[in-house]
Amino acid sequence: MLFMLTNRTRAGLSAAQYDELAALAKAFYASIPADVKIRGEWAAVDRSHNVTLLEAPDIDAVQRIAAPFELFTETAIVPVVAITGWTAS
């Protein structure tokens, strides 16, 4: 299944909390679960939030991935499907 994650950094984090967030991110990227694939990632120019398209077996897997970041981010998880056939005409 495909999931769109939007992570918005919580306001008012201290420098130490940003350091913790960075350490969590590094740990995640160093050991992405075998059943999870990152299809794409984007960050807002102001770095206030990022969006990730993930392929995972189910929403529970995605929630487990997002859980360590809860103290530092507000996360929205939306199951998505690809669409085709839309035209500008």
What are the pLDDT tens digits along the chain (89 aa)?
Answer: 999 999 999 999 999 999 999 999 999 999 999 999 999 999 999 888 899 999 999 999 999 999 999 999 999 999 999 888 877 66
CATH 3.40.50.300 at 2-80, yes or no = no
* pLDDT at residue 28 in the model: 93
* pLDDT at residue 47 in the model: 82
* pLDDT at residue 89 in the model: 61
Q: Give the integer Cα–Cα distance in Å for 78 and 22.
A: 24
Domain ranges of the chain: 2-80
* pLDDT at residue 48 in the model: 86
Q: DSSP code of 38?
A: E
